[in-house]
Structure 1
Amino acid sequence: MLKISDNAEIEQNNVGHSIINELANKSLFTLDQERFIIFPPLLKDSDDLDEDNCIFKTFNGKTRTCNIVGFLSDGKNEIHIQSRFFESQDEDYFLNYMLQKVLHYNVTINEISSSDNHSYYDLLVYLFPYYLEEAMKKGFYKEYVYHSYNDSNVRGQLDINRHIRQNVPFVGNVAYNTREYSFDNKLNQLIRHTIEKIEVTRPFLLNESSTIRNNVKRIKELTPSYSHYDLENVLFENKFNTIKHGFYEEYTQLQTLCLQILTDQMIGFGANYQKVHGIIIDIAWLWEEYLNLLIKDHFYHPQNKVGTMPHYYFNNSNGKIYPDFIGKLPDNRIVADAKYKPQNNIKNSDYSQILSYMFRFNCKEAYFFHPSKEEQHKILYLMEGVSAEAPPTKKIDVRVEKIGLKIPKATRYEEFVEKIENSEKQFLDKLNL
């Protein structure tokens, strides 16, 4: 098993790794079509990833990882792309912690990073409640389903052969088939089978919140014909009948996840028998969502890809913008940007963007939030020049602060949680709220 970091150059002796060779310069769009598990479930939900992005990118003879972490395997070899905050002798507690927070599950001993064969399955299962919630926000999935009846209330096409077999001598019933628009369909049955399996293997995941419990309850109510003996047929129908309607794309992602959980098969990329399968996570998106949970009492969180809380540079809805975070106090408006990069890598284009937001919202103060191995806090004051010839002077009433959240080292997950909770308190203390 090979462990590497995000946003890092891959050592030359590892560049020839079979998985890296297979996936180098392959776009996320291609992998998405091959039913890789990509988190967040839809590429459009990520500001930092687009369909042309790659897991491994080769340029000028060097191969690098991008803002992606996750698990990759071809059944023989395995690669774990960890956050850059993990130490080789330890597990990636930072990634595990953010996943636990954003996915809203609560475990004392985190199993995601275990190096045995169950690690891939574990993460699939942990993702299920999130995928289910995102899909059910679109409403309950409904489609036409064929049913066979044998009663006196005929409302479909007669089935002569079945009628002769079942109703001779005639006792008043008629065998017929009908096509009905129903919630009790192949996809909801697949979700139901997945729920039943998770209730046996990881029951706590389906009891973490009232939303999850309600979603599980509704799926059970929508599938009265469920039988565990039908699993093979349900798997077959879903494997060869992917949901393709654009409105239900969240259900398409959920369908893929359920198939992998139920079959333990690694649906993957490649033409040979050792296909590469994997779960890849946009860690910049994960960092931003984690921050939102940390500061949501003080900041609004507009979302570009979802289209919530848009703002505009100009009147008549021109120049739409989505700052990562906007302070809730109208008399002391603050904007903030989440950056999953080292403090020294936050520079020119980042400054231009945050200054344009400050001008738009008439802010005197703005923040960059970034993770850091050490506690960091840097204040930048805006420089104002009188003319092109005159030297700039310090304008001390307008400033930008780079605030790092220290990611601690630990030898146990419980120890890490205790330390990072202390880091979170120190981080919040630095905000002028």
Structure 2
Amino acid sequence: MKLKQTKDNCREPKDEYAIIPQLTDKLVNRTLKQLSGDGLFVFPENPKEADDQMVLRSIDNYYQTSNLAGFIGYQDERLVIQSRFERSDGNYFFQYLFERVFNMPNLMVLNTEGIQDKSGFDLLAFLLPIYLKKALRKGIFKTYVRRQHNDSNVRGTIDVARHIRANSPFTGKIAYNQREFSYENDVTLLIRHTIEFIKNKPYGNLLWKQIPDEVTTIVTATRHYEEHDRRHIIVQNKKSPIRHAYYHEYRSLQRLCLMILQFEKQRIGTGSQQVQGVLFDCAWLWEEYINKLIAPWFYHPMNKERIGEQKLFGSNGSIYPDFISRFQTNRIIADTKYKPSKNIGNKDYLQLVAYMYRFDAQKGYYIYPNHTDKTVAPFHLAQGLTYDNNVVPRETVTITKLGLEIPEITVTGNEVADYQQFKVSMKKSEEKLIQQFKNQS
């Protein structure tokens, strides 16, 4: 297997990618929308960003990665994109974020020593409960199916050939076909097959304990499930992808189920003529991780899901600050930034100050991954004009760059122990961050 490791938001000479020429050719300068026909799964899905976001962009003599991290494969070539804030040899930071955001136990080791395929499968499997819950909010998927009957109560089209075979001599029954609306169809059966497939994995039951009601709903709707029908169900779903816009969530779930069920065969690209893989938007992952930490003290509007919309001017100007403090006195606005402290500036400042003015907040925070061990003193908003030579800081209005320290762990020989050490260190960093807001509540 040919392996290339890199980091998100990283620019490297093109020669560095010579080891994976075919995969590079498949990815370079192609948008996520153009790659959507391949087996590439991106979370969270954002159709608007898919039009211009690329996994790999060619810039002069360099290739530039984006905010996406994960695993991609094509035939025997692999590209592993780690977080640029990773400070260990074992990809622990990405793993830790994933576990916290998705409430997953420590079930995978996302190193790059030849087990990326298994890690990719784990990532796909852990996403299934999320997509299943989203899809079932629309109700159980139902569609017309063709049923074969053989009784005396004809309610469809008589199947003459089958009737002669089954009812000669005549016994009072008639063979007929009926087209009816049913919850038990190729899509719900595909979901059931995926559930049963993952149940056989070591972590299967732990996954389904998170969504027992949803699993029961699918099992109840698919009473004629047979394991030996799996190949037929996969073929039918590949031939008939869901296209109706109303069932967009089911379309995503259908794609995910197909990737999981075919994973053992394709192994993230092995023997496949398609690009296979799973990628995550690191900026989104970081924002949701911070929400897990400070949710008791902050509201969390979500732009991509259009949840918690605020208005800038009465009924006009939709805005979605990352975090708005729950306490009305001494309001605080916090903004997550998945980039180094030195890269936070200009438009970032303008946006946060506008949010602070809108919500009468005198304190604003940028929360970013700190991998330099350097702290940044609060900034005081200025007042006055250089023309009048009277510029002075406003003592009561501050913006603070608040970094959450990412521990540096060196992998020795015991990876499990090292990851446990990483988690302990991360807990200490989290406590320092949380204490900042506890003191102001």
TM-score, structure 2 length as denominator? 0.91
Q: Which amino acid aligns with 1:430?
A: Q
97-106 vs 217-226, which moves further:
97-106
Structure 1 portions without partners, runs of 5+: none
TM-aligned CA deviation for residue 208 of structure 1: 4.3
Q: Alignment partner for residue 11 of structure 2, among 1, 9, 12?
A: 9
Match of 2:415 in 1: none
Map 1:56-135 onto structure 2 (within 5 A). 56-87=56-87, 90-107=89-106, 109-113=107-111, 115-116=114-115, 117-135=117-135
Q: Which amino acid aligns with 1:219?
A: I
Match of 1:332 in 2: 330
Map 1:145-164 onto structure 2 (within 5 A). 145-164=145-164
Match of 1:407 in 2: 406
Match of 1:361 in 2: 359
Match of 1:253 in 2: 252
Q: Which amino acid aligns with 1:224?
A: R
Residues 75 and 272, structure 2, Cα contact 8 Å, conserved in 1: no
Match of 2:234 in 1: 235
Match of 2:42 in 1: 38
Distance 1:260 1:224 in 2: 24
Distance 2:109 2:166 in 1: 54
Number of matched pairs = 422
1:262 paired to 2:261? yes
TM-aligned CA deviation for residue 274 of structure 1: 4.2
Deviation per residue, 1:18-53 (Å, 9 max, x gap): 12232111101111233411111x214x9xx44211
Distance 1:99 1:290 in 2: 8
Deviation per residue, 1:222-264 (Å, 9 max, x gap): 1011001111110110011111111111211111111121122
Distance 1:267 1:119 in 2: 10
Residues 325 and 332, structure 2, Cα contact 8 Å, conserved in 1: yes
TM-aligned CA deviation for residue 10 of structure 1: 1.7
Q: Which amino acid aligns with 2:207?
A: L
Distance 1:242 1:38 in 2: 18
RMSD: 2.0
Map 1:144-183 onto structure 2 (within 5 A). 144-183=144-183
Residues 376 and 405, structure 1, Cα contact 8 Å, conserved in 2: no
SS at match of 1:430: helix
Residues 332 and 363, structure 2, Cα contact 8 Å, conserved in 1: yes
Distance 2:26 2:390 in 1: 55
TM-aligned CA deviation for residue 268 of structure 1: 8.5
Distance 2:163 2:190 in 1: 31
Match of 2:320 in 1: 322
Alpha carbons of structure 1 residues 417 and 267: separation in structure 2 relative to 1, 3 Å: closer
Deviation per residue, 1:140-188 (Å, 9 max, x gap): 1111111001112221111111111112222222211111111100011
Match of 1:184 in 2: 184
Distance 2:375 2:188 in 1: 49
TM-aligned CA deviation for residue 67 of structure 1: 0.6
Structure 2 portions without partners, runs of 5+: 412-417
Residues 375 and 405, structure 1, Cα contact 8 Å, conserved in 2: no
TM-aligned CA deviation for residue 3 of structure 1: 1.2
Q: Which amino acid aligns with 1:37?
A: F
Residues 28 and 52, structure 1, Cα contact 8 Å, conserved in 2: yes
Residues 7 and 65, structure 2, Cα contact 8 Å, conserved in 1: yes
Residues 126 and 207, structure 2, Cα contact 8 Å, conserved in 1: no
Alpha carbons of structure 1 residues 60 and 11: separation in structure 2 relative to 1, 3 Å: closer
1:342 paired to 2:340? yes
Distance 1:213 1:102 in 2: 20
Q: Which amino acid aligns with 1:74?
A: Y
TM-score, structure 1 length as denominator? 0.92
Match of 1:197 in 2: 197
Distance 2:316 2:26 in 1: 44
Distance 1:309 1:146 in 2: 43
